[in-house]
Amino acid sequence: MREGLAIVGLCIAAAVAYGLVHDQVTVRLSLEYFTVLHPHVVDTESPTVLALVWGVIASWWMGAALGVPLAVCCRSGPGAKLGAREVVRPVLMVLAVMGVGAAVAGTVGWWLAAGGRVPANHPDVPPERQVATVAVAFAHIAAESIGVAGGLFLCLWVVVRRMRLDAAAAGKR
């Protein structure tokens, strides 16, 4: 039970840490993404404060949504079990892929919006901020999508890893 909770805690902490860094970067590219395209949750226009608030609000539950099934995959049933230490590196790798994917998607979003290939015409965003806001939206959507896919991949990886550990243990008997 303790290791399962440690895995869930690891995933929540990792997701929040990623969300804080991601939002500190993207808020500086488009403050409007956080002030216009998100619900109002705090009375401030401070980029740092908005990124801190949204970095937690938008991330903790994704960490929990990943952590619970990952903990179940790591700890349930008979045979070899994986603990939090065994999944730290894979979780960090998913976060790294999310960061790279977000950067690539943001760049593509910028290019598409600047070239008029995707609409950049939100009525509440100043015209000179439209392209940046689209780019940040692309970056956020990519990070979220990669995070979900990465979470599913981690669960599959854990199941395969446990099967291999069980097979190796059976071969030594």
Average pLDDT over residues 22-30: 98
Could you report the per-residue pLDDT of 46-81, keeping only the tens digit for each? 999 999 999 999 999 999 999 999 999 999 999 999
Domain boundaries, given as residue ranges, for the chain: 2-171
- pLDDT category at 1 given cuts 50, 70, 90 is confident
The arithmetic mean of pLDDT across residues 112-127, rounded, is 94
Q: State mean pLDDT over 22-45.
A: 95
Task: Report the pLDDT averaged over residues 88-93.
Answer: 98
pLDDT surpasses 80 at 162? yes
Structure tokens of 25?
Answer: 């970067």
Return the pLDDT at 172.
78
pLDDT at res. 114 = 96
Return the pLDDT at 173. 66
- Cα gap 22→61, rounded to integer Å: 16
pLDDT of residue 152: 97
